[in-house]
Amino acid sequence: MSQETILRSAQVTDARFARSDPPVARWLLIALALLFVGVFLVLPLVAVFAAGLAKGVGAYWAAISDPDAWSAIKLTLLAAAIAVPLNTVFGVAAAWAVTKFDFRGKQLLITLIDLPFAVSPVISGLIFVLLFGSRGIFGPWLIAHSIRILFALPGIILATTFVTFPFVARTLIPLMQAQGMEEEEAAMVLGANGWQIFRRVTLPNIKWGLLYGIILCNARAMGEFGAVSVVSGHIRGLTNTMSLHVEILYNEYQFAGAFAVASLLVLLALVTLVVKCVAEWQQQRLMTVVDEPADEEGT
Amino acid sequence: MVKHRALPGFGLTLGYTLTYVGLLVLIPLSTIFFKTATMSWDRFWAVVLDPRAVAAYRLTLFASLTAALINAVFGLLLAWVLERYPFPGRRLVDGLVDLPFALPTSVGGLALTAVFAKTGWLGRYLEAAGIKVAFTPLGIIIALTFIGLPFVVRTIQPVLQDLDAELEEAAATLGAGRLQTFRRVILPALVPPVLTGFALAFARAIGEYGSVVFISGNMPMKTEIATLLIVTRLEQFDYAGATAIAVVMLAVSFALLLVINLLQWWSVKRSAA
């Protein structure tokens, strides 16, 4: 074997293993990363269940089936059941307007849609206090007509809707941009009307992405704390959502109860993560299937 | 060739979007500025520069910056390990990274308190070593690290995926060691996403409330963050005081939003070049 071939084969091996690091470094880095994940993500999760069950299954069950806990659960579900559909319809409409048409100020509109993410949850609550509080802009009028918005259900729904506002639009806009609109245009040429185009062409292409957006929107809607805390007034059995109920129990030193109710929210988060991963995976699969016919056309 | 015709629904969807954004976002947010405008200039500055408020901004900025830095380092490590090294349970860990997005912030704070409090699983050992976490700025940093982690990991991951294998192979063929390749070839490509992730985590941390209030102890001048001060002022029915502090924080948030947009634009431009 000539020296040249030896050199060349050495280079080839080098190239093939160029992206693999020495095993020692690899395992050290993996161990460090897992340690970080363990301390910051896994341990806290386990701690919630451990603390919730600290006084036994009976106490755990009692904390969850307590009437105040039940009314908190119902209020949380109700707020999410209103806020999530509202933001879903908005998200689809906004994504359609932004991705299917060109108009002036589009970038500004996208920035405005993102705005609630940049605003602190506490400030999101504050703005509704300034609008509807007793000394707020509409306060005197609302009192005169005995309409309650703040410290009542409407305030909680408004704050929840505000903080979860961008989720669906944010997920759909890049997705629909990537998919283009040839299929929709073809459907239109074939005589489909707007609703038919959306339901039969667009929706099947974006359904998993839409689910992804909805599930994240829902997780935030059910778990929101800062904004809801400012507008709710913390009235037990009336305006307490689950995360507020957890706080009250904790501040009253009913630790086992607080962690028991918190563990329900942890379960919600875990279910959210699973659904999110499935939706993400399915949408990626859908995108590759959608892309394939175009590739065949090229060959 | 089909003649290009506009799809239907422009007026309906744009009209609906604008109405919804206007009613739910623009009008409510503008009240902050109207409320501030009713304050006199002197009163505004007196509230904004009150020593307790200044201590709160300082703590918020310090803790948020530290947490974002920790996240930049460990987020990069996590993204690297998840993208490059196959190990059992990798997909599970990858899914778990989003936990702070899915978990209600108050539950996150409560859970961290359970781990790091004086009697907690890790807290008791740290306490024995003389490190106090709960009710100190360190606790605040830990809570803010928790909520900021996914931002950094999820910004770096796609860039690592798109990184051209040939570049690294070329570096190796040219005789560069692995560390040298990382420092001279990979790291420069990762600078924009790390900075973007850092800024996103920092912006999120500045406005955070739920995860911090359980672990911080909320002592004025010591462990009181700016968002908590807003809530305290509101509970005292001091609307103007709360609003003035909110304006300062909104200004910081919007400035950061601008920086993030510039970073993302830079990042796209660099990967296109």
pLDDT in the model for residue B5: 61
pLDDT (tens digit per residue) in B33-84? 888 988 899 999 999 999 999 999 999 999 999 999 999 999 999 999 999 9
DSSP 8-state class, residue A20: P
Contact between B95 and A165 using a beta-carbon 8 Å cutoff: no
Smallest Cα distance from B273 to chain A, Å: 20
Nearest-angstrom CA–CA distance, A208 and B234: 41
Q: Residue type for B205, please?
A: A
CA distance B124 to B214: 18
**CA dist., res. B193 & res. B197, Å (int):** 6
Q: Give me the pLDDT at residue B273, please.
A: 63
Q: Is the pLDDT of residue B270 over 80?
A: no
Cα separation, B60 vs B224, in Å, equals 8
The b-or-e profile of A138-156 (16+ CB within 10 A means b, else e) is: bbeebeeeeeebbbbbbbb
Distance CA B232, CA B56 (A): 12
Q: Which of B34, B83, B84, B99 to mutate to test the interface with A (most CBs of A within 10 A)?
A: B99
pLDDT (tens digit per residue) in A145-168 = 999 999 999 999 999 999 999 999
Q: Is B146 in CB contact (< 8 Å) with chain A?
A: yes
- Chain A residues inside the 8 Å CB shell of B34: 137
Q: How far is CA B29 from the centre of its chain?
A: 21
Backbone angles phi, psi at A124, to 5 degrees: -60, -35
Residue A292 pLDDT greater than 80, yes or no: no
Residue B218 to residue B224: CA distance in whole angstroms: 5
The CA distance from B231 to the nearest CA of chain A, in Å, is: 7
pLDDT tens-digit profile of B178-233?
888 888 889 998 999 999 999 999 999 999 999 999 999 888 999 999 999 999 99
Identify which has the larger pLDDT, A11 or B264.
Answer: B264
Contacting residues for B236 by C-beta, under 8 A, at least 6 apart: none
Which pLDDT does position A3 carry in this prediction?
Answer: 57
A20 contacts B182 by C-beta, under 8 angstroms: no
pLDDT at A20 over 80: no
Share of chain B above pLDDT 90, in %: 73
Measured CA angle at B20 (ends B15, B26), to 5 deg: 115
Please, what is the average pLDDT of chain A? 89
pLDDT for residue A14: 47
| Among A39, A119, A195, the residue to mutate for chain B (most B Cβ within 10 A) | A119
Question: Distance, in angstroms, between A80 CA and closest chain B CA?
Answer: 13
- Coil, strand, or helix at residue A237? coil
How many Å apart are CA B70 and CA B142, to the nearest integer?
Answer: 9
Would the CB atoms of B171 and A193 count as touching at under 8 Å? no
pLDDT at A9 over 60: no
- Taking the CA of residue A17 and the nearest CA in chain B, the distance in Å comes to 8
Minimum Cα–Cα distance from A183: chain B residue: B7
> Is B21 near chain A, with CB under 8 Å?
yes
User: What are the residue ranges of helices labelled H in chain B?
Assistant: 10-21, 27-37, 41-48, 51-84, 90-96, 99-102, 105-116, 123-128, 137-162, 165-173, 178-181, 187-207, 210-216, 226-235, 239-272
Contact A128 B257 (CB under 8 A): no
Q: Exposed, middle or buried, B126 (CB in 10 Å: 0-12/13-18/19+)? A: middle
Query: What ipTM was predicted for this assembly?
Result: 0.91
CB-CB: which of B10, B97, B234 is closest to A230?
Answer: B234
Instruction: Tell me the CA distances in angstroms from A280 to A171, B104, B150, B262, one per residue in order.
Output: 11, 21, 16, 28
Inter-chain touch B181–A14, beta carbons under 8 Å: no
Joined together, the tokens standing for residue B5 give 């015709």
Q: A6 or B18: whose pLDDT is higher?
A: B18
Considering chain A, what percentage of its residues have pLDDT values greater than 90? 79
Q: What is the pLDDT of residues A108-122, one digit of tens each?
A: 999 999 999 999 999
Structure tokens at B228: 């908590």
> Which of A34, A126, A243 comes nearest B234 by C-beta?
A126
Question: For A29-57, how does the pLDDT look when each residue is reduced to its tens digit (9 = 90+)?
Answer: 999 999 999 999 999 999 999 999 999 99
Task: Answer whether residue B1 shows pLDDT above 80.
Answer: no
Of A245, A202, A248, A200, the residue nearest A72 (C-alpha): A245
Chain A residues in contact with B57 by the CB 8 A cut-off are none
